[in-house]
Amino acid sequence: MVIDDILKELSMQKKDGVYFGPAGGYWSNLNREDNERFLKELPLLGSKKTVEKYFPEHFDVIFSPKRAGGLPLLNSGSGELIVDVGCMWGALTIPLARTGCNVVAIDQTLESILLLKQRLMEDNLPNVDVVCADLKKIGFKGSSVDKFVINGVLEWIPESGVIELKKYYGKRQGAEKKYDKSDPYDLQLKFLKGIYNGLKPDGSLYLAIENRYDIFNFFGMPDPHCSLRFITFLPRFLQNMVSKVFLGRPYINWTYSAGGLKKLLKEAGFCDAKISYAFPDYRSPEQILSKAGMGYYRPCKFRRAKNIFIKVVCYVIEDILFRRLKLTAFAPSFVVLAKR
Ligand X SMILES: C[S@@+](CC[C@H](N)C(=O)[O-])C[C@H]1O[C@@H](n2cnc3c(N)ncnc32)[C@H](O)[C@@H]1O
82 binds another protein (CB under 8 A): no
- Quote the least distance from Cβ 17 to ligand X, whole Å: 18
- Choose one: 14-22, 34-42, 149-157, 271-279; the region binding ligand X (CB under 6 A): 149-157
- What pairs with residue 275 in β-bridges? 336
Yes or no: say if 232 and 255 are a contact pair by the CB < 8 Å rule.
yes
- Quote the least distance from Cβ 287 to another protein, whole Å: 5
Between CA 335 and CA 294 the distance in angstroms is: 14
Between CA 94 and CA 3 the distance in angstroms is: 18
- Quote the least distance from Cβ 290 to another protein, whole Å: 4
Cα separation values, 322 from 79, 171, 257, 289, 295, Å: 38, 32, 16, 11, 9
Kindly state the helix (H) or strand (E) to which residue 287 belongs, with its residue range. Answer: strand 287-289
- Choose one: 41-49, 102-110, 241-249, 291-299; the region binding ligand X (CB under 6 A): 102-110
112 binds ligand X (CB under 6 A): yes
Which of 25, 70, 203, 250 lies at the binding interface for another protein (CB under 8 A)?
70
- Quote the least distance from Cβ 289 to another protein, whole Å: 6
**Between 15 and 54, how does the x/- string for binding to ligand X read (CB under 6 A)?**
---------x--x---------------------------
Q: Which does 27 bind (CB under 5 to 8 A by kind): ligand X, another protein, none?
A: ligand X
Q: Which does 66 bind (CB under 5 to 8 A by kind): ligand X, another protein, none?
A: another protein
Closest to 61 measured CA to CA, from 271, 282, 211, 305: 282
Kindly state the helix (H) or strand (E) to which residue 38 belongs, with its residue range. Answer: helix 32-45
- What pairs with residue 147 in β-bridges? 82, 204
Which of 17, 79, 161, 293 lies at the binding interface for another protein (CB under 8 A)?
293
- Quote the least distance from Cβ 121 to another protein, whole Å: 15
Between CA 279 and CA 128 the distance in angstroms is: 30
Yes or no: say if 232 and 330 are a contact pair by the CB < 8 Å rule.
no
- Phi first, then psi, for residue 160 (nearest 5°) are -150, 165
- Cα 266–Cα 205–Cα 75 angle in degrees, nearest 5: 140
- Quote the least distance from Cβ 119 to ligand X, whole Å: 12
Q: Which does 204 bind (CB under 5 to 8 A by kind): another protein, ligand X, none?
A: none
- Choose one: 6-14, 94-102, 179-187, 207-215; the region binding another protein (CB under 8 A): 94-102
Q: Which does 86 bind (CB under 5 to 8 A by kind): another protein, ligand X, none?
A: ligand X
Which of 98, 181, 236, 266 lies at the binding interface for another protein (CB under 8 A)?
98
DSSP secondary structure string for all residues of 219-264: TTPPPTTT--SS-TTS-HHHHHHHHHHHHSS------B-HHHHHHH
Hey, which residues between 48 and 87 contact ligand X (CB under 6 A)?
86-87
Which of 136, 147, 212, 225 lies at the binding interface for ligand X (CB under 6 A)?
136
- Quote the least distance from Cβ 15 to another protein, whole Å: 28
Between CA 57 and CA 61 the distance in angstroms is: 8
Enumerate binding residues for ligand X (CB under 6 A).
Answer: 24, 27, 86-88, 91-92, 107-109, 112, 134-136, 151-153, 156-157
